[in-house]
Structure 1
Amino acid sequence: MAMVWEQGELFPRANKADIQTTKKLLRKHPDMKKIVKGLQEREQLTTEEEAIINKWGPTVKNVELAIESIPDSEIRLIMQYRFINCYPRKAAVTKWSSFTDRSLDRKIEEGTEAVAGTLKLLGII
């Protein structure tokens, strides 16, 4: 997969398609994480179960790495709460009650763009 970088850009920019793909990954992340963790705790795995661990395990780790790499600490905490700790949007709105719903959504959107940029850099998307 060839990456096109703008001259002078340190990291590649995520485009709209990359951001949409990242949103899907973030929505699926909690379920993928639970399944991978559950399978890893088993002693005996079928071939299909091993394939799921091999396919989803790196994706789960890379999404979490991308979230941990967000430079803005407030946005990083929100993204960790929502997508690594698997809390629903409503819980995040309650926890960060100093923000309006729309402000929190904007912060999640910024975090999603940052995650998309990191995943693009890693060659995941």
Structure 2
Amino acid sequence: MAMVWGQGELFAEASKEEIKQTEFYLGKYKLMTLFMSDYENYQREMAQVAIDGEVARRIDQTDLHADKTANATILDEKQKWVYNQYRKFRFMINRAHSQIIDPEVKEAIDIRFIQGYSRKETILFMRRGTAHSTVDRRIAEGIKSIANTLKVMGFFEEIHRKF
């Protein structure tokens, strides 16, 4: 894994683009977790639906005739690859979340992204009397902290790998 840091930089700082990517993946965290749970609990059923259903009929829309079994196998392999990628991403995000020092920032990130609540619900769950701008600031600080940790872990190189 190639790390791209500035010369003489001891503590990596995430770029604006990496912070935006971090926010995107944090926003998808709950969906990744739900997919993983579904895949773990219903892997056989998902494979059978792929064979029986229309999903595998034509993976490529230019195919006039398709081998459903072969396409279902490709679809199953892709689902397995996505599952494994999500496992890596979730592990790295959880590690980065655990590295947040400020407990209030950690709590805001936990409510907003790990538990998957909306911005409004996050504000309501925070301690009584906490201004919405304070919650927004804590979330922004948490995203930046997670992005910096993910940069050190090689997350941004990992997300660019293809199937």
- TM-score, normalised to structure 1, is 0.89
Give, in angstroms, the shift of residue 2 of structure 1: 3.1
Question: Which of 135, 140, 144 is 1:113 aligned to?
Answer: 144
Q: Which residue of 1 aligns with 2:124?
A: 94
Q: Percent identity?
A: 23
Given the alignment of the two structures, is residue 23 of structure 1 paired with residue 54 of structure 2, yes or no?
A: no
Structure 2: segments with no counterpart, 5+ residues: 48-75, 157-163
Equivalent position SS for 1:14: coil
Gaps of 5+ in 1: none
Q: What's the CA shift for 1:3?
A: 2.2
How many angstroms apart in 2 are the aligned matches of 1:54 and 1:95?
32
Choose the corresponding residue for 2:80, options 50, 60, 63. 50
- Alpha-carbon distance, 1:39 to partner: 0.5
Task: State which of 93, 96, 106 in structure 2 corresponds to 1:63.
Answer: 93
- Tell me the CA shift for residue 112 of structure 1: 0.3
C-alpha displacement at 1:8, in angstroms?
A: 5.9
- Give the Å deviation of 1:43: 4.5
Amino acid at match of 1:80: D
- Please, what TM-score do these two structures have when normalized by structure 2? 0.70
Higher-Rg member (1/2): 2
Letter in 2 for 1:41: N
Q: Give the total of aligned pairs.
A: 124
Shift of 1:94: 0.8
